[in-house]
């Protein structure tokens, strides 16, 4: 038998770098198999995909923040630690989901997440107060249309209710800003870097 060599794979001369196939359509090739099989390199996420993934994951902090706020509200506390935790959690979840630093668009998304959490938390606190006044179990109240109608009617038409809630709401908003200010300032600096 004669010694046959494969024409397709030629060893590189000593000291020369091995040749790599030219990219097709601008996509570089990487070796996917040890013996010459080449496949397109995985494409990195675009900036908008990264921001979208990060913000989508950061949205998970909203229900956690609402629950924590409502529990403290029900006890009679108004604490800045909840919005601090929401801001920290949103930034952390964003970074984890996007695998990138906070960008300018992401910064505004995180601010929106914190603001929505604060508004929903205040509404949840008022709803819990209504349920307590009606002396109905919370689970039953959540499923009762009459309770929801009463809640929305009071929310939009009961000036006396808002007058009694105004000091608590203003104090809650003040603590909310104080709680998340430092974290959001750091995220703003990161987004401008």
pLDDT, one tens digit per residue, over 143-166 is 999 999 999 999 999 889 889 989
Q: What pLDDT, on the 0 to 100 scale, is given for residue 113? A: 95
Contacts of 57-61 with C-beta under 8 Å, sequence gap 24+, read 57/93, 57/94, 57/96, 57/97, 57/98, 58/89, 58/90, 58/91, 58/93, 58/94, 58/97, 58/109, 58/110, 58/113, 59/113, 60/93, 61/86, 61/89, 61/90, 61/93, 61/113, 61/117
Distance of CA 40 to the CA centre of its chain: 31
Q: Could you tell me which residues come within 8 angstroms of residue 138 by beta carbon, excluding any fewer than 6 positions away? A: 128, 131
Q: Which residues of the chain have pLDDT under 70?
A: 1-48
* Tokens at 53, concatenated: 């993934």
Q: How many C-beta atoms lie closer than 10 Å to residue 68's C-beta? A: 19
pLDDT at residue 193 in the model:
75
* Cα 30–Cα 35–Cα 40 angle in degrees, nearest 5: 20
Report the pLDDT value the prediction gives residue 76, as an integer from 0 to 100.
79
User: pLDDT tens digits, residue range 78-103?
Assistant: 777 888 999 999 999 999 998 888 88
CA-nearest of 52, 44, 50 to 101 is: 50
Q: Which residues are within 8 A (CB) of 157 and not within 5 positions of it... i.e. 6 or more apart?
A: none
Q: What is the pLDDT of residue 101?
A: 87
């Amino acid at each position: 038998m004669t010694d046959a060599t494969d024409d397709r794979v030629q060893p590189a001369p000593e000291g020369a770098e091995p040749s790599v196939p030219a990219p097709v359509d601008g996509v570089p090739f990487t070796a996917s198999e040890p013996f010459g099989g080449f496949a397109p390199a995985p494409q990195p996420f675009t900036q908008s995909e990264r921001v979208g993934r990060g913000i989508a994951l950061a949205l998970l902090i909203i229900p956690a923040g609402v629950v924590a706020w409502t529990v403290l509200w029900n006890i009679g506390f108004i604490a800045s630690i909840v919005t601090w935790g929401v801001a920290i959690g949103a930034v952390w979840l964003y970074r984890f989901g996007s695998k990138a630093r906070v960008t300018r668009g992401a910064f505004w998304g995180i601010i929106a997440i914190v603001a929505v959490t604060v508004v929903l938390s205040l509404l949840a606190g008022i709803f819990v107060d209504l349920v307590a006044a009606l002396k109905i179990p919370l689970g039953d109240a959540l499923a009762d249309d009459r309770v929801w109608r009463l809640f929305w009617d009071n929310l939009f038409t009961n000036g006396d209710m808002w007058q009694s809630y105004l000091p608590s709401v203003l104090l809650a908003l003040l603590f909310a800003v104080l709680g998340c200010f430092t974290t959001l300032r750091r995220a703003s600096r990161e987004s401008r870097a």
